[in-house]
Amino acid sequence: MTVAAPYTPMELMICAAASTLEDGAMVVVGTGAPCAAAMLAQKTTAPNLTLMFEAGGVGPLLPRMPISVGDSRTFYEGLMATSMSDIMETCQRGMVDYTFLGGGQIDAYGNLNSTMIGKDYQRPDVRFPGSGGASDLGSLCWRVMVLTPHDRRRFVKKLDFMTTPGYIDGPGAREDAGLPAGSGPHKVITNLAVMGFDEETKRMRVESLHPDVDLEDVEANTEFELLQNADMAITAEPPPEQLEILRREVDPHRYIIGR
């Protein structure tokens, strides 16, 4: 029996993210929606996808959604049970294709803030969890994926704090900062659209709109000016078979897709 539509915005985001992960790639994931996307890809289009977790799990075949990056399930039938230092060393060697990151703010160049909101670092209006490994992963992995809700509080002209560098302030800035040439933000997937980054300007660009979403909806929820593809696409709807696997095998308790 297959699962019929409708699907939720979160399910669409997860399925869209899963479709970007090619078979044989290596990806560092955290918990939540990124883990669901990687699990879904591994169970469908990318069976040879290698999942890596910050606490040291490498190549697990996840039986259930882990609740943290150190959950014992992140080592289940894995290739290695190692440590954070080994994960970061692997990234530093240039061996990791993708990482999933998030934060409280993102700007036009894909820079991320997961530290604080406010003008005074010592007395912020809001204190976020901080970098963890986000700055390292965003600096050293080749392609950074972001899954986030889309609203003007998150998509801002200027970050209150730069935790993780994207393209910093434009072309050549990552390289000038000593980061690997050719690395950087790759996709930003929200409940409204899929964005990439313009090759020449390194600014965020709308690549596809989700079904029943207008470009005006995306622009109204973004403080900065978005570029757009000349041939604007519509994000592909998740196939029923993919939704069934997401709902029955990846997240049967709806920890993520129930949001």
Token pair 């399910």 is found at 11
Backbone angles phi, psi at 204, to 5 degrees: -65, 140
Rounded Cα gap, residues 109 and 202, in angstroms? 6
Residue in 22, 54, 77, 200 annotated catalytic:
54
Give me 198's structure tokens.
């313009």
CA distance 108 to 198: 10
Q: Is 54 in the active site?
A: yes
How wide is the angle at C-alpha 114 spanned by C-alphas 217 and 57, nearest 5°? 110
Half-sphere CA count of 235, side-chain side, radius 13 A: 32
What's the CA gap between 143 and 177, in Å, rounded? 17
Distance CA 205, CA 197 (A): 5
Q: Known catalytic residues? A: 54
